[in-house]
Amino acid sequence: MTAVLHPRFAARRSAARAGTWWGKAWVRAVEEAAYAVEDLAAGRRLSRSGRIGQIEVDAGGFVAAVEDDGGVWTVVGAVPPLGEEERDALVETVAAEAGRVAALLAGELPHSLAEHAEEAGVELLPYGGELGTTCTCDAWADPCPHALGVLHQIAWLLDADPFVLLHLRGLPREELLARLHGRQGGDHQAAPAADPLAADPDLAVALDAVERARRVVELLEQDAGPADHLF
């Protein structure tokens, strides 16, 4: 599996709250994991300070650098990845209802998908005790404010793209699409698939819309001027 390096967030004047139901569920897990309210408040301040570097997400964990007045620290986090049988069950759950893949590609995590996955024995959203972190700072609390800052920014990543959650759980976008494509092709697939989206034009349209939206966000963050040409 390939790690994905997500762009760093610029400084924000006000607290950015998770806006989606799954982003809010992630934040609840972060709050459960925190040792003290003061640590949570410090973590939120760091999350919007612009002093957290790019977050690298891979199956089962993440890593990021965090700067404060005391120096630069490295935060490493762990989220339990799904086992092979759980990943198979999740793929079946996604394929069981039309429109679920298109919803994921459009940045939505259907509540019914999470519910049906849970019924199949697959817990997508972690609880507080599953969020493990370490930091190179000398704080005794785990997670420390640096780790809590990174965890809050991950909620923003989840808000924008639920595939980040699936990636952390061990099923990144490319693998899910490839498995779905292979499932549709069955034993009749004679050659390697050139494009998992080729068999479904609706998915291709959804993915194109997502990529355009991401590019607009990048240009706005870089203050690159009007992005009307992307529409």
Average pLDDT over residues 5-30: 90
β-strands 4-6, 61-68: how paired?
unpaired
β-strands 61-68, 71-78: how paired?
antiparallel
Identify whether 231 is part of a domain.
no
pLDDT of residue 211: 55
Q: What is the 3-state secondary structure (H, E, C) of 30-76?
A: HHHHCCCHHHHHHHHHHHCCCCECCEEEECCEEEEEEEECCEEEEEE
* Confidence at 15, pLDDT banded by 50, 70, 90: low
Strand partners, 62: 57, 77
CA of 165: how far to CAs of 7, 128, 177, in Å? 16, 15, 15
Q: What percent of the chain has pLDDT over 70?
A: 78
Question: Other CB atoms closer than 10 Å to residue 150's CB: what's the count?
Answer: 27
Q: pLDDT tens digits, residue range 81-101?
A: 999 999 999 999 999 988 999
pLDDT of residue 16: 67
Identify whether 217 is part of a domain.
no
Q: pLDDT tens digits, residue range 21-55?
A: 999 999 999 999 999 999 999 999 999 999 999 99
**Distance of alpha carbon 3 from alpha carbon 61, whole angstroms:** 10
Identify whether 229 is part of a domain.
no
Q: Where are the alpha helices (DSSP H) in the chain?
A: 21-33, 37-47, 84-95, 100-105, 111-119, 145-160, 163-168, 173-185, 201-221
Identify whether 176 is part of a domain.
yes
Which residue segment(s) compose the domain that 91 sits in? Answer: 4-199
What is the count of structural domains for the chain? 1
Identify whether 211 is part of a domain.
no
Identify whether 205 is part of a domain.
no
Identify whether 221 is part of a domain.
no
Query: Does the pLDDT value for residue 218 go beyond 50?
Result: yes
